[in-house]
Structures are given as structure tokens and as C-alpha cells.
């Protein structure tokens, strides 16, 4: 059977399972099964598929039909134009998080940055790759997540400039930084059941929710930021789209200044930005 016919069958299977973007996902899975770049898949659609590749594709489609994300099936997610390793031990990075990267890059390059709760390391690694003179510290309570972050730092040649450390937020952090970034768990416990199964069932629960109102980590980060930022240093934290007002109040109560909320690509509140007093 040709790759084109198998692709059509895969699309139908994903559509029956209610997967949004079934055609896009099926093409990504087929390219991976054939071990060809996605951009060149069309050149191979007329080819007969060898049985090992066909079996890989069928397994991939079955997993996607069960609502496992494509990134977790393939072990890779593209973020800010780079491929990152993702596993079941880390949050699958989402396009909304690029709002934080854009906001960080709009300011001055830091000598040293801190990424709290780094997960796969996408924030620290991306920013260090964009700022070749900067150094960074990335923390996480999960040793498995830190291993993924280390792999991604090595993949993008920034491992020599990134210290990876086990820490519960600021617990094992000393010194001051020009920039602190974080994508902490911000989903309220009451909102978990409504999440898409791709998120709820395949991302670590601790990376999604604090088990309460979704603001616990933000409170800790804002409270600790003034003592870990240089005068005028910047803080950027991803937040839930309905948390803008609460995030602003939390940052101002902690003594942070120039507080503002950046919108994501859909115009929704997404990133808290603030500065430490000069």
C-alpha cells in the first residue's frame, strides 16, 4: 500500500477519534514513521511503504487516537524555531509560552538569568541560545525533568553556560539575577477536569496545577523575586488567561514595579512582567 493511502486511512482514524487537526497530525506521524523531513513528505506519498514503517505509523496513529499529543509520541516539540526533547516527565511546551520569550527578548540581554521550574528547559535554553553572552541557572524539583533540560541544553550548545539545580522555587538559589523567568503551574484544581485529555492525561499534574487556586507558585515567585533580582532586574511569569488582575496585585504587593500584563497571540492575558526597585 502506498504512503498516500495509509495517510488517508490515518486521517480517517484520527477524525473518528475526534482529534482536531487530524490531517496535520497524521502527516507529522507519517513523516516520522518514514523517517523523512515533514517538508519533504509529499515526495514520498506515491511510494510503497515498507512493513516496518507501516507498523510504526499504525502504532503512532493508535496512540494519537487515544489522545496522546504528537510531541509526546515523537519525543520532540518545536519551540521558537528549535526542536526540544519532551517526555512524560515534562510539560509539553505550547505556543502561548513564546509570549514570555518575546517579552524577555524585547529587553536588554542579561549577564545572568534564572529559570524557575524549568521542566524541559525551553525557556532557559531558548534565551541562552538567543543571548550567546549570557549565563543561566535553571531549577526544578524533578530530577527527571532536569535530565530532559540537560539533554536540551546539550542539543542547543548552551550546556556550558547553564547550571541545572534541584530546587523548590528559590529554595536552593543564591545570588541575584538580571532576569527571572518561569512557567509555573497555574491551573486551578477546579479547572483540571475541563482540560483537553492531551494535557490532563499526558503532562505531569504537578506542572499543571498547585491543587488550589492556581496562584500559589506565583505568590512564592513574586515574594522571592525582589531578593533575587539586581536593582531594576526583570521578572516574567506565565499566568492563566483569567489571572491578570490577581497577578498584578500579587506583584505590586511584593514591592515590584512597572507591573504589566502581556497578551498572547489571541489577545488574552498571558505573562506577568515586572521590575525590582532601582
DSSP annotation string for the chain:
-BHHHHHHHHHHHHHHTT-TTHHHHHHHHHHHHHT--GGGGGGGTTSBPPHHHHHHHHHHHHHHHTT--HHHHHTEEEETTEEEE--TTS----GGGHHHHHHHHTSPPPSEEEEES-TT-HHHHHHHHH-TT-EEEEEES-HHHHHHHHHHHHHTT-GGGEEEEE-STTTT--S-EEEEEE----B-GGGGGGS-HHHHTTS-HHHHB-SSSS-HHHHHHHHHGGGTEEEEEEEEEE--TT-HHHHHHHHHHTT-EEEEEEE-TTS-EEEEEEE---
From first to last of the 278 residues of the chain, give the pLDDT tens digit: 999 999 999 999 999 999 999 999 999 999 999 999 999 999 999 999 999 999 999 999 999 999 999 999 999 999 999 999 999 999 999 999 999 999 999 999 999 999 999 999 999 999 999 999 999 999 999 999 999 999 999 999 999 999 999 999 999 999 999 999 999 999 999 999 999 999 999 999 999 999 999 999 999 999 999 999 999 999 999 999 999 999 999 999 999 999 999 999 999 999 999 999 99
- pLDDT at position 50, please? 96
Q: Please, what is the end-to-end C-alpha distance for the chain in angstroms?
A: 67
> Average pLDDT of the chain?
97
- pLDDT at position 247, please? 98
- Alpha-carbon span 13 to 10, nearest angstrom: 5
What is the widest separation between alpha-carbon atoms in the chain?
Answer: 67
- pLDDT at position 62, please? 98
- Taking the domain 86-275, which CATH number applies? 3.40.50.150
- Alpha-carbon span 277 to 104, nearest angstrom: 18
Q: How are beta strands 229-238 and 177-182 bridged, if at all?
A: parallel
Share of the chain above pLDDT 90, in %: 100
At 66-114, the pLDDT tens digits run 999 999 999 999 999 999 999 999 999 999 999 999 999 999 999 999 9
The answer to whether the predicted template modeling score (pTM) of the entire model surpasses 0.85 is yes
- Alpha-carbon span 125 to 238, nearest angstrom: 17
- Alpha-carbon span 252 to 161, nearest angstrom: 32
- pLDDT at position 59, please? 98
- pLDDT at position 200, please? 95
CB of 258 closer than 8 Å to CB of 272: no
Amino acid at each position: 500500500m502506498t504512503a498516500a493511502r495509509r495517510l488517508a486511512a490515518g486521517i480517517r482514524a484520527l477524525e473518528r477519534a475526534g482529534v482536531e487537526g487530524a490531517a496535520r497530525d497524521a502527516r507529522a506521524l507519517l513523516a516520522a514513521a518514514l523517517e523523512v523531513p515533514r517538508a519533504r513528505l509529499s515526495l514520498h506519498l506515491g511510494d510503497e511503504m515498507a512493513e516496518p514503517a507501516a507498523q510504526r505509523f499504525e502504532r503512532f496513529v493508535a496512540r494519537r487516537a487515544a489522545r496522546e499529543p504528537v510531541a509526546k509520541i515523537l519525543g520532540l516539540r518545536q519551540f521558537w524555531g528549535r526542536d526540544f526533547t519532551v517526555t512524560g516527565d515534562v510539560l509539553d511546551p505550547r505556543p502561548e509560552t513564546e509570549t514570555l520569550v518575546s517579552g524577555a527578548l524585547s529587553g536588554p540581554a542579561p549577564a545572568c538569568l534564572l529559570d524557575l521550574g524549568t521542566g524541559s528547559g525551553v525557556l532557559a535554553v531558548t534565551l541562552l541560545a538567543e543571548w550567546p553572552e549570557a549565563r543561566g541557572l535553571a531549577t526544578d524539583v524533578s530530577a527527571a525533568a532536569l535530565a530532559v533540560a540537560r539533554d536540551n541544553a546539550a542539543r542547543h550548545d548552551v550546556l556550558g553556560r547553564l547550571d541545572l539545580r534541584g530546587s523548590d522555587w528559590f529554595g536552593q538559589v543564591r545570588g541575584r539575577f538580571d532576569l527571572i523567568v518561569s512557567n509555573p503551574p497555574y491551573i486551578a484544581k477546579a479547572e483540571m477536569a475541563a482540560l483537553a485529555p492531551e494535557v490532563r492525561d499526558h503532562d505531569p499534574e504537578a506542572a499543571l496545577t498547585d491543587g488550589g487556586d492556581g496562584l500559589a507558585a506565583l505568590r512564592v515567585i513574586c515574594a522571592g523575586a525582589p531578593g533575587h533580582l539586581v536593582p531594576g532586574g526583570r521578572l516574567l511569569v506565565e499566568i492563566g488567561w483569567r489571572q491578570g488582575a490577581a497577578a498584578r496585585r500579587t506583584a505590586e504587593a511584593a514591592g515590584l514595579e512597572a507591573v504589566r500584563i502581556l497578551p498572547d497571540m489571541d489577545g488574552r492575558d498571558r505573562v506577568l512582567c515586572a521590575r525590582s526597585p532601582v
